[in-house]
Amino acid sequence: MSIKKYVPNFITLLNLASGLIALVYAFDTNLQMAFFWVCMGIFFDFWDGFFARIFNAQSKVGLQLDSLADMVTSGVVPGVAMFQLLANIVDLREEYNLTADNFYLGILPYVGFVITLASCYRLAKFNVDTRQTDSFIGLPTPANALLIMSLPVILNHSDGTGFIFEALSNPYVLVAISLLSAFILNAEIPLFSLKVKYFNWETNKIQFVFLILSALLLFFFQYLGIPLIILLYVLLSVVNNITSSRQV
């Protein structure tokens, strides 16, 4: 019995372990460390598929295991992180009529878990959707997790002033982001695959353009570049869909 066939599943379990560690930090409101461990989980999530292909070790168990691991790392953790963001915006509660005696104070943070519910539904659909073998329909859960987990890191690295800080400190903006996140996870929007199978410009030009622009966004905007990259990914996919339909 070859040990190679177990390597992808072991890497998938490292994804799950990273998600569990991230969850501990998220419950402790250390969202920066939670972000780090989610990134580690997504790193492992990329490599399990890679090794499954090169070792020819794809299996139905591996597919289900991958989704279960993603459910924790890219589904539960972002939901808890958004809950913590909404529950711990202390300074601006009175401004937004969210004082201690207000009914909505106890309800609003739980809106963050709509991200977890939508992620679960998206992962279940992905496992049975034969259209998503070489591309995606709706935002993949790891990309959405990076989007959500980057928000507290951006806040933490801000100087406490400016438009970005004010926006991400507004509970209603965070609720809107949560609802938009849930929608785009399951929207019928075809998104191009990030896998580069052949290193030539003609067949992978959109992937290369995306990678170059992403590197520039990270260089110039640092953590703020992460949500901009996710937005770029969606916009490039929409443009690619429009141009492809015109060529048909």
- CATH number (domain holding residue 31): 1.20.120.1760
Please tell me whether residues 71 and 139 are part of one structural domain.
Answer: yes
The residue segments making up the domain with residue 43 are: 3-191
Q: Which residue has the tokens 């790392």?
A: 73
Please tell me whether residues 54 and 140 are part of one structural domain.
Answer: yes
For the segment 232-247, the average pLDDT, to the nearest whole number, is 84
- Among the candidates 142, 176, 191, a domain finishes at 191
Please tell me whether residues 70 and 167 are part of one structural domain.
Answer: yes
The tokens describing 176, both together, are: 């809107």
CB 134 within 8 A of CB 26: no
DSSP assigned state of 108: G
pLDDT higher at 200 or 37: 37
Please tell me whether residues 59 and 121 are part of one structural domain.
Answer: yes
Q: How many domains does the chain have?
A: 2
Torsion of CA 100, 111, 15, 13, to 10 degrees: 100
Q: Measuring CA to CA, which residue among 62, 186, 19 is closest to residue 115? A: 186
The tokens describing 147, both together, are: 């989007």
- Spatial distance between the Cα atoms of 68 and 62, rounded to a whole number of angstroms: 10
Q: For position 12, what pLDDT does the model report?
A: 93
Please tell me whether residues 152 and 70 are part of one structural domain.
Answer: yes
Least confident of 45-49, 138-142, 192-196: 192-196
CA 175 distance to own-chain centroid: 16
Q: For position 208, what pLDDT does the model report?
A: 87
CB atoms within 10 A of CB 248: 4
Please tell me whether residues 180 and 203 are part of one structural domain.
Answer: no
Please tell me whether residues 199 and 187 are part of one structural domain.
Answer: no
Please tell me whether residues 31 and 44 are part of one structural domain.
Answer: yes
The tokens describing 132, both together, are: 């998503």
CB 99 within 8 A of CB 93: yes
Please tell me whether residues 174 and 200 are part of one structural domain.
Answer: no
Please tell me whether residues 141 and 243 are part of one structural domain.
Answer: no
pLDDT higher at 54 or 178: 178
137 forms bridges with which residues in the sheet?
Answer: 190
Please tell me whether residues 185 and 220 are part of one structural domain.
Answer: no
Band (248; pLDDT cuts 50, 70, 90): low
Q: Measuring CA to CA, which residue among 59, 76, 88 is closest to residue 22? A: 76
- Spatial distance between the Cα atoms of 26 and 50, rounded to a whole number of angstroms: 29
Q: Measuring CA to CA, which residue among 79, 80, 99, 102 is closest to residue 89? A: 99
Render pLDDT for 59-101 as a digit per residue (tens, 0 to 9).
788 888 999 999 999 999 999 999 999 888 755 555 666 665 6
Task: Determine phi and psi for 24, rounding to 5 degrees.
Answer: -60, -45
Band (187; pLDDT cuts 50, 70, 90): very high
pTM score, two decimals? 0.89
Residue type, position 13, single letter: L
- Among the candidates 172, 191, 210, a domain finishes at 191
Please tell me whether residues 59 and 129 are part of one structural domain.
Answer: yes
Which residues touch 169 (CB under 8 Å, ≥6 apart)?
89, 91, 92, 155
